[in-house]
Chains A and B, each alone.
Chain A
Amino acid sequence: MSQLLFATIFTFLFPAIASAHGIGEVYKLPVPLHYYLAGAGVAVAVSFFALGLFFNKPSSGKELNRIVHVPWLSSVLKGGRVLAVLLLLLTIATGAFGADDLSKNFAPTFFWVYFLIGFSILSALIGNLWDKLNPWKTLAYATGLPRKTGKQVSGWVGVVLLLGLFWLELVSGKSFIPSTVGLALLGYSWFAIVFSRFYDNWYTEGELFSVLYGFIGKLAFVRISDDNTSLILTNPYKGTKAATAHWWTLGLASVLLAGASFDSLKESTLWFDWIQALGFTGSTYKIADTLGLILAPIPFYALYLAAIGIMRKLMGNTYDFKTLAYRFVWSLIPIAFGYTLAHNFSLTIVAAPSMLAFLSDPFGFGWNLFGTADFAQTNLLLGAKAVWFTEIGFIVAAHIAGVWFAHVVAMHLFPNTQQATKSQYPMLLLMVGYTVMTLWLLSQPIVVR
C-alpha cells in the first residue's frame, strides 16, 4: 500500500513527458559486436605495450615547468566573467520565460550540451578556467567579499550534487524541458551564491561545477596563475601530487564513471528486463532508475579499492592503503572524462546548427538577431560508423591516458622501474575491466519505453 502511495506521489511529481527529441538527437545504434571486441582488443594491446615499455624506461622523464607571461590575459578573463554572468542570466531567462519547447529554446541545448560538455573540454585544456570565470563566484563577490567563517564544507556535498545533476539529466525525464532548466538553474544560483557566505572552501569543494571542473582540470597541462597575468605550463602529475585527495575525490570519480555508464545501461533491454523482473512497472520505472543511478557508482568504487588492495599486497605493504588509494585516484580522471566524451561528443556536433539558430532566437519568439534562425532546419546527421568510432575512440583514448597517468604515479611512488611496473598489474586489470564493461554497455540493444 505504502509502495503504491509512494509510486503515486512519484508519478505525480515527475509525470512522463513526450520523449525529448528533434534537436541534436544522435541516432545511435548499438555498437556491433566485432567493433566492441576490436575496441577491447586495442585496450588490452595498449596495456601490454605499456608494460613492455615501462621495463625499459629508466625515469619518468623531464619535468615540464614554464611560465608564460600574457599581459592581456587578465582583461580577457574580465570580459569572460561578464560573458559568463550574461550567459547564466540568458539561460535562466530563456528557460523560464521562453517557448517551452526544446526545439525552440536556447536553454536546454546550451546547458546540457555546450556548457556541460564544452566546459569539461575547456577544463581539461586550462585547468582552473572555471574557477576564474565562475559566474556565481563573480556575483557573490560583486555583492560583497565573503568574510572568513572558518567553516569547511564537506566534499561529499559536491558528490551528492553531481548525482543530483545526473538524476536530472538521465532519470527525471524533464531535463530537456526549457522551464526545468531555467528554474533548476535559478534555484541552484541562489544556493551557489548564498553558501559562499557560510563556507570558506565553497568555490573549491562545495559548488558542484567548481568540484566537477576542478577535478577534470587536474588533467590540464596549462593553468592560469593566481594574479591572472600568466599561463603556467606544468605536468598534470605535479598538480595532483600537490592536491590533497579524499575519499570523496574517489566518490566523485566513481559517480562520473557511473553516470556515463548508467546512461547506456538504462537504455538497454538488459536493464529493462532486470527492473521488470524486480516488479517495477511503467509508473515506477523512475524509482528503479533512481535506485540504479545511486547504486551504479558502487561497483566502480569497489573495483578500484580492490585493485588498490591487491597492489598493496603485491608491493609488500610498503605504503598504507589510504596513500595508494589517494595517489592513484587521479588516474581515473582521464577515464571519467573520456567516458563523458564518448557518450556525448557526437551530440555537440549534431546540435551545432540548432545552437546557431538559438543564438538568433534564444527565447523562441521568432526573432532573427544574427540571421541564423533558419539553421535549426539543417538536419546534420552523423552516420552510424562515425558515431561508433567516436565512442570507441574516446573510450580507448581514455584507457591509454589512464594507464599512462597511473604509470607516472607509480614511477614516483616506487623505488625502481621494476617495482613500479609490478604495481601496475592490478591497475591495468582494473582499467581493462572498466573499458570492456563500458564498451559492452554500448553494444547492448536499446529498449523503447
Chain B
Amino acid sequence: MKNSSAIFIAIGVLVLLAAIFFFNKSANPEPAVTATPTGQQSTTASSEASPIPSPTPSVAELIINVPADLTLTAQTLRVKEGEKATIKVTSQVADEVHLHGYDLSQAVGPGTPAQIDLTADKTGRFEIELEERGKAIGILEVYPK
C-alpha cells in the first residue's frame, strides 16, 4: 500500500506543478484589440486606414451605428488594461450612451454622434447601453495586464 500511496502523491505533485505553471503563464493570451466588425452595424477605424500613421496607434476603436428599429448585434471591443479606447456611436434614435463601470455618458441622436474616450484602467466586462431604452449596443472587455 505504501507504494501506491507514494505514486498517488507523486502524480498529485506533478499535476500541481503543472497547475502553478499555468497560473504563472503570461496573464493574458487575448489579442490586444479585437473589435469584431460584421458589416452593416459596425466597423473599426483601422479599416478606414489613413495614409499618415497616427502618433497614438494603440487607441482601440469601436464604432456602433444604431438603426431606428434597434436591430443590431452588440459587438465586443477587447483591450488590455491601461490601453486607450474610443467608442463612437451614431444613432437613428435619440437616447443616451452609457458605459457601465466607467460611468461615462453622452447624449446621442440623429445628427448628434457620441464619442466616449477613455483609458481602460478598470478591468472587467462593461456594457455599453442606450440608457433610456435599456438596450445593450456593445461591450467593452478590459483584460488585466
Using a CB–CB cutoff of 8 Å, the interface residues on chain A facing chain B are 17-19, 21-22, 25-30, 32-35, 37-39, 41-42, 44-49, 51-53, 55-56, 379, 381-385, 387, 418, 446, 448-449
Complex CA–CA separation, A448 to B140 (angstroms): 12
Q: Which residues of chain A are within 8 angstroms of B101 by Cβ–Cβ distance? A: 25, 27, 379, 381
Are B16 and A45 in contact (CB-based, < 8 A)? Answer: yes
Complex CA–CA separation, A33 to B30 (angstroms): 10
Closest to A446 in B: B125
B97-121 near A? 1/0 per residue, CB < 8 Å: 0001101000000000000000000
Complex CA–CA separation, A183 to B144 (angstroms): 42
Closest to A39 in B: B19
Complex CA–CA separation, A51 to B13 (angstroms): 13
Are B124 and A28 in contact (CB-based, < 8 A)? Answer: yes
Are A29 and B124 in contact (CB-based, < 8 A)? Answer: yes
Are A383 and B124 in contact (CB-based, < 8 A)? Answer: yes
Are B22 and A381 in contact (CB-based, < 8 A)? Answer: no
Are B142 and A45 in contact (CB-based, < 8 A)? Answer: no
Nearest 10 pairs of A and B residues by beta carbon: A18-B134, A27-B124, A41-B19, A48-B12, A52-B8, A52-B9, A38-B22, A384-B123, A55-B5, A448-B74
B39: Cβ under 8 A from any A Cβ: no
Q: Which residues of chain B are within 8 angstroms of A28 by Cβ–Cβ distance? A: 124-125
Closest to B137 in A: A448
Q: Which residues of chain B are within 8 angstroms of A53 by Cβ–Cβ distance? A: 5, 9
Closest to B101 in A: A27
Q: Which residues of chain B are within 8 angstroms of A47 by Cβ–Cβ distance? A: 12
Using a CB–CB cutoff of 8 Å, the interface residues on chain B facing chain A are 1-2, 4-9, 11-16, 18-20, 22-23, 25, 27-30, 73-74, 76, 100-101, 103, 122-127, 129, 133-134, 136, 138-139, 141-144
Closest to B141 in A: A29
User: Can you spell out 8 A-B residue pairs with CB atoms less than 8 angstroms apart?
Assistant: A32-B29, A45-B12, A48-B8, A51-B8, A52-B7, A381-B101, A381-B122, A446-B125
Query: Closest Cβ of chain B: how far from A282's Cβ, in Å?
Result: 10
Interface of A is mostly: helix
Complex CA–CA separation, A42 to B27 (angstroms): 18
Query: Closest Cβ of chain A: how far from B31's Cβ, in Å?
Result: 13
Given known pairs A19-B134, A384-B124, A385-B123, the reply for A34 and B15 (CB within 8 Å) is no
Are A56 and B5 in contact (CB-based, < 8 A)? Answer: yes
Are B11 and A384 in contact (CB-based, < 8 A)? Answer: no
Among B19, B20, B127, the residue within 8 A (CB) of A448 is B127
Query: Closest Cβ of chain A: how far from B92's Cβ, in Å?
Result: 20
Q: Which residues of chain A are within 8 angstroms of B127 by Cβ–Cβ distance? A: 19, 21, 448
Given known pairs A27-B101, A383-B122, A448-B136, the reply for A52 and B5 (CB within 8 Å) is yes
Q: Which residues of chain A are within 8 angstroms of B16 by Cβ–Cβ distance? A: 41-42, 45
Complex CA–CA separation, A448 to B74 (angstroms): 7
Among A18, A38, A448, the residue within 8 A (CB) of B139 is A448
Closest to B132 in A: A18
Are A17 and B134 in contact (CB-based, < 8 A)? Answer: yes
Given known pairs A21-B129, A45-B19, A448-B139, the reply for A34 and B13 (CB within 8 Å) is no
Complex CA–CA separation, A21 to B129 (angstroms): 10
Among A27, A33, A39, the residue within 8 A (CB) of B125 is A27
Given known pairs A29-B141, A379-B103, A385-B144, the reply for A44 and B124 (CB within 8 Å) is no
Are B23 and A38 in contact (CB-based, < 8 A)? Answer: yes
Q: Which residues of chain B are within 8 angstroms of A18 by Cβ–Cβ distance? A: 133-134
Q: Which residues of chain A are within 8 angstroms of B136 by Cβ–Cβ distance? A: 19, 448-449
Complex CA–CA separation, A382 to B124 (angstroms): 8
Q: Which residues of chain A are within 8 angstroms of B29 by Cβ–Cβ distance? A: 32-34
Query: Closest Cβ of chain A: how far from B42's Cβ, in Å?
Result: 13
Complex CA–CA separation, A379 to B124 (angstroms): 14
Closest to B124 in A: A27
Are A384 and B103 in contact (CB-based, < 8 A)? Answer: no
Query: Closest Cβ of chain A: how far from B142's Cβ, in Å?
Result: 7
Q: Which residues of chain B are within 8 angstroms of A32 by Cβ–Cβ distance? A: 27-30, 143
Are B124 and A42 in contact (CB-based, < 8 A)? Answer: no
Q: Which residues of chain B are within 8 angstroms of A34 by Cβ–Cβ distance? A: 22-23, 25, 29
Are B9 and A41 in contact (CB-based, < 8 A)? Answer: no
Complex CA–CA separation, A137 to B103 (angstroms): 44
Are B4 and A55 in contact (CB-based, < 8 A)? Answer: yes
Complex CA–CA separation, A121 to B56 (angstroms): 49
Query: Closest Cβ of chain A: how far from B12's Cβ, in Å?
Result: 3
Q: Which residues of chain A are within 8 angstroms of B76 by Cβ–Cβ distance? A: 448
Closest to A16 in B: B134
Are A41 and B22 in contact (CB-based, < 8 A)? Answer: yes
Are A384 and B143 in contact (CB-based, < 8 A)? Answer: yes
Complex CA–CA separation, A53 to B6 (angstroms): 9
Complex CA–CA separation, A279 to B126 (angstroms): 29
